[in-house]
Amino acid sequence: MTDRYLVEPDLNFIKEVEALGGDTLKKCFQCATCSVVCPISPENKPFPRKEMIAASWGLKDKLVGSADIWLCHHCGDCTTMCPRGAKPGETLSAIRAYAIKEYAAPKALANLVNDPKKLPILVALPAVVFIVLGMILKVFGVDWLNFTPGGDEIVQAHFFHTWLVDLIFVPLSIFVVLIFALSLKNFISDIHKNALLEGKTDKEKIDPAGFIKALGRVIPSILKHSKFSECSENNERATSHMMVLYSFIALFIVTAIFFVALYGLQIHGPYSQWNPVKWLANAAGIALVMGSAFMIKDRLVKTDQSSTYQDWYLLGLVLGLGLTGLLTELTRLGGSAFFAYFFYFVHLMFVFDLFLFLPFSKLAHLVYRTVALSYAEYGNRK
């Protein structure tokens, strides 16, 4: 006997999915071409057909708490082959954007990051924080945010004290980690509950040790971008994505090393250009700019595939981060104090936005997708 399922459509969810890039959703007539042509869809309960059906019916809980929406890498094969132009890949991308907003808290920040009308606020917020903090410190005799400080040597720490930078960004990093911890706790609980209901797993509880082992098996695949190479439409995206991913990894390593050098070894910057860590930083900065520029070019060329505000916001943020970082160093080496400090100030604004809004922007997909892929590996969902 067929199981009964009470359908309770959420019309607002359908409207939000359409607004986030899934505006062709209603063109789907459930032919299953998308699931057939997708090279990475599992044989058991394949995507994205079932997600297109659920989205059409407004089944928010069934979709937002599903790991399958994150197994899709939006390679574009399903969109290209769809006979109705329903663009399943764009619909799944829209559902993922909705899921990020749904799991992240506070909701006010999530709505702020994903509303194009609020972009001026995102741009102004770090500048206001820095300037107000600078004014407060000036009252106590601390001279900073001075674009033309005295002395022949250009040192960013004279303009924006290093300990003040860390005073801002260390708590900010802790805040982001806590937000992700709370979000992932709910996310993992939901995807496991949905997997049990849909018969994708027979494990009543998740074994933490087994899940961590699955994560270890998934990481190499992510670092190699193996799934991208299986796609036919957009497999060239693997190169630009890897450039950006490895740039962030390298810059994280550089930041950690210089943090230890400064506070542990008391070695203050600016550091020599012959320092191997500086080589790594410069190479990562160039790769970050090139990778994000290639991503922008790919989106401009692929006019048949949708690009939303969330896509352009993230790409602009990453490109701006890389460009201002390089311009800060080039103007410092060129001896232009004003521009060196100006670009450094703007660079810190980009870093602030990247950190603060990480759990709410599309960049959060790196965390959610990693968890979803690990869960699929843990449940042996091939």
- Note the pLDDT tens digit of each residue in 284-325: 999 999 999 999 998 888 777 778 888 899 999 999 999 999
Domain annotation covers residue 289: yes
Domain carrying residue 44:
11-103
Q: What confidence tens digit (pLDDT) does each residue in 260-272 have? A: 887 777 777 677 7
Please give the angle made by the CA atoms of 222, 303 and 307, to the nearest 5 degrees.
55
Please give the angle made by the CA atoms of 331, 332 and 335, to the nearest 5 degrees.
85
CATH number of the domain where residue 19 is located: 1.10.1060.10
Res. 149: pLDDT tops 70: no
The domain tally of the chain equals 2
Last residue of a domain, one of 70, 86, 103: 103
Res. 150: pLDDT tops 60: no
What local confidence, expressed as pLDDT, does residue 170 receive? 86
User: Are 128 and 37 found together in one domain?
Assistant: no
Section 27-32 average pLDDT: 89
End-to-end Cα separation, the chain, in angstroms: 28
Domain annotation covers residue 362: yes
Distance CA 308, CA 355 (A): 21
What local confidence, expressed as pLDDT, does residue 144 receive? 65
User: Are 74 and 111 found together in one domain?
Assistant: no
Section 78-83 average pLDDT: 87
Closest Cα partner for 93 from 118, 81, 75, 114? Answer: 75
Q: How many Cβ atoms sit within 10 Å of the Cβ of residue 22?
A: 27
User: Are 215 and 333 found together in one domain?
Assistant: yes
Domain annotation covers residue 115: yes
Q: Model pTM?
A: 0.88
Domain annotation covers residue 351: yes
User: Are 256 and 336 found together in one domain?
Assistant: yes
Last residue of a domain, one of 87, 103, 119: 103
Domain annotation covers residue 75: yes
Residue 276: how many CA atoms within 13 Å on its side-chain side?
A: 2
Domain annotation covers residue 138: yes
Last residue of a domain, one of 86, 103, 120: 103
User: Are 189 and 69 found together in one domain?
Assistant: no
User: Are 143 and 88 found together in one domain?
Assistant: no
* Residue 220, preceding peptide bond in cis (omega within 30° of 0): no
Domain annotation covers residue 4: no
Instruction: Output 236 or 48, whichever has higher pLDDT.
Output: 48
User: Are 121 and 55 found together in one domain?
Assistant: no
Distance CA 161, CA 222 (A): 37
What local confidence, expressed as pLDDT, does residue 117 receive? 92
Q: Which amino acid is at 175?
A: F
User: Are 53 and 70 found together in one domain?
Assistant: yes
Domain annotation covers residue 5: no
pLDDT band at 5 (very low <50, low <70, confident <90, very high): low
User: Are 207 and 298 found together in one domain?
Assistant: yes
User: Are 82 and 111 found together in one domain?
Assistant: no
User: Are 246 and 128 found together in one domain?
Assistant: yes
User: Are 95 and 111 found together in one domain?
Assistant: no
- Going 47 to 51 to 52 to 53, the CA torsion angle's sign is positive
Res. 343: pLDDT tops 80: yes
